């Protein structure tokens, strides 16, 4: 990895240089929340921000997108060209970069790559930035508080200057042309270490660290806990909408009024929706809230890990804030912490 240091005052120059060639998407304040949006001026962005309310996945998997158009009479598929603007996502936190890495595993690096996802991913540069954890963050439990790959530049605030990790030639050239990057000194490295320690010490100690949660979930698959959790679910899909790693979608066809033309599109879907597991003939594989919520938590904390060697949850905490019924992975961790305490007192 190549490291350089730039002064904090040079950051607007870097953003302006990106803006010459790319659409720049960055965190901005909207009311009391922060969201990622396209910016027109470097001063529009707010880099010292808590987790945004919505994630970055809409830039790779839009909530709704047309996959193809077809002639319903000839059964011919019409050409569908995808227009992808070259884009820079500036100021992504490590958890969100790790979330994109998970999406890459599914849509780009798996057995079947998704051309729509890949086109957007290939057209996007990612500039990460260090953060200060909020009370709802638990990315450190799943090793998602540091981004080791999946970005072009990563900016670590080391006090009045940034230690920049560089991992693409394209971004390195822009950094070189816009700023005055210098070699990192020993003091820069020491300050980087201190900044990392400060971040690691800032996580909410009240969120239990249960590293063997996946195995425990298998052991407690039938526990009443899932009934209690699932019975509260409102099926509102807010958790899936805000989650940076929820990627399920539904495919739908829509015909023109005269029935001659049609389009096939995909829309975000959520496994907490009652119809999600309903199949032709009307059978529903997960008719109960208990089964749906348990399925969601298992996919996040157990199933994806078995298949891809990582949790599908990156601990961003968005669902902790978004779910009005207080259903989230932290509740699962708290349950197993309590189970551990019960076992200890029974022994």
CB of 273 vs ligand SF4, minimal distance in Å? 8
Encode 304-342: b = buried (16+ Cβ within 10 Å), e = exposed: bbeeeebbbbbbbbbbbbbbebebbbbbbbebbeebeee
Q: With respect to ligand SF4, which residue has the nearer C-beta, 88 or 322?
A: 322
Alpha-carbon Rg for the chain, nearest whole angstrom, is 22
| CB distance 35 to 28 below 8 Å | yes
Q: With respect to ligand SF4, which residue has the nearer C-beta, 28 or 319?
A: 319
- Number of residues in the chain: 347
Please report, for residues 89, 117, 124, 172, 213, the alpha-carbon distance to residue 151 in angstroms, rounded to integers and kept in the order given: 10, 16, 10, 12, 29
Residues that bind ligand SF4 (CB under 6 A): 233-239, 242-245, 272, 293, 300, 313-319, 322-323, 325, 327-329
Q: With respect to ligand SF4, which residue has the nearer C-beta, 58 or 189?
A: 58
Q: With respect to ligand SF4, which residue has the nearer C-beta, 199 or 331?
A: 331
Q: With respect to ligand SF4, which residue has the nearer C-beta, 11 or 103?
A: 103
Where are the strands (E) in the chain, listed by range?
Answer: 2-7, 23-30, 33-38, 64-71, 76-78, 87-92, 124-129, 153-157, 161-166, 249-255, 261-268
User: Of 122, 102, 70, nearest to 259 (Cα)?
Assistant: 70
Q: With respect to ligand SF4, which residue has the nearer C-beta, 9 or 234?
A: 234
Encode 66-96: b = buried (16+ Cβ within 10 Å), e = exposed: ebebbeeeeeeeeeeeeeeeebbbbbbbbbb
CB of 220 vs ligand SF4, minimal distance in Å? 19
Q: With respect to ligand SF4, which residue has the nearer C-beta, 103 or 323?
A: 323
Helix (H, G, I), strand (E, B) or coil at 57: helix
Q: With respect to ligand SF4, which residue has the nearer C-beta, 78 or 234?
A: 234
Query: Sheet containing 249-255: which strands, arranged edge to edge?
Result: 76-78, 64-71, 261-268, 249-255
CB of 207 vs ligand SF4, minimal distance in Å? 10
Helix (H, G, I), strand (E, B) or coil at 30: strand
How many C-beta neighbours within 10 Å does residue 256 have?
11
CB of 159 vs ligand SF4, minimal distance in Å? 29
Question: DSSP letters along 64-129, please?
Answer: EEEEEEEETTTTEEEP-------EEEEEE-HHHHHHHHHHHHHHTSSSS--HHHHHHHHTEEEEEE
CB of 97 vs ligand SF4, minimal distance in Å? 13
Q: With respect to ligand SF4, which residue has the nearer C-beta, 130 or 245?
A: 245
CB of 26 vs ligand SF4, minimal distance in Å? 20
CB of 70 vs ligand SF4, minimal distance in Å? 33
> How many Å apart are CA 252 and CA 345, to the nearest integer?
53
CB of 303 vs ligand SF4, minimal distance in Å? 13
CB of 155 vs ligand SF4, minimal distance in Å? 22
């Amino acid at each position: 990895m190549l490291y350089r240091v730039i002064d904090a005052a040079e950051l607007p120059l870097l953003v302006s240089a990106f803006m010459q060639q790319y659409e720049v998407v960055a965190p901005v304040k909207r009311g009391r929340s922060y969201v990622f949006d396209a910016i027109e001026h470097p001063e529009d962005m707010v880099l010292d921000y808590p987790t945004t309310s919505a994630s970055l996945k809409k830039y790779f998997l839009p909530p709704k997108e047309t996959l193809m158009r077809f002639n319903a009479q000839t059964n011919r598929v019409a050409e569908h060209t995808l227009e992808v603007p070259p884009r820079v996502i500036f100021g992504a936190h490590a958890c969100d970069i790790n979330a994109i890495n998970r999406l890459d595993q599914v849509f780009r690096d798996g057995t079947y790559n998704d051309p729509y996802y890949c086109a957007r991913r290939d057209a996007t540069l990612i500039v990460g930035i260090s953060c200060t954890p909020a009370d709802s963050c638990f990315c450190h439990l799943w090793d998602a508080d540091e981004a080791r790959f999946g970005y072009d530049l990563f900016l670590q605030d080391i006090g009045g200057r940034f230690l920049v990790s560089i991992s693409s030639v394209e971004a390195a050239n822009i950094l070189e042309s816009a700023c005055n990057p210098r070699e990192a000194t020993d003091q820069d490295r020491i300050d980087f270490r201190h900044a990392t320690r400060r971040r690691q010490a800032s996580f909410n100690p009240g969120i239990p660290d249960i590293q063997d949660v996946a195995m425990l979930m298998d052991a407690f698959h039938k526990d009443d806990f899932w009934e209690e959790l699932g019975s509260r679910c409102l099926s509102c899909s807010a958790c899936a909408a805000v989650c940076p790693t929820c990627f399920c979608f539904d495919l739908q066809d829509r015909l023109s009024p005269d029935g001659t033309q049609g389009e096939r599109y995909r829309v975000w879907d959520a496994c907490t929706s009652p119809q999600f597991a309903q199949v032709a003939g009307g059978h529903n594989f997960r008719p109960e809230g208990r089964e749906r919520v348990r399925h969601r938590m298992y996919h996040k904390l157990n199933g994806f890990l078995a298949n891809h060697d990582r949790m599908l949850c990156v601990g961003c905490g968005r669902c902790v804030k978004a779910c009005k019924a207080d259903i989230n992975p932290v509740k699962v961790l708290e349950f197993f912490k309590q189970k551990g305490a019960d076992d200890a007192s029974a022994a």
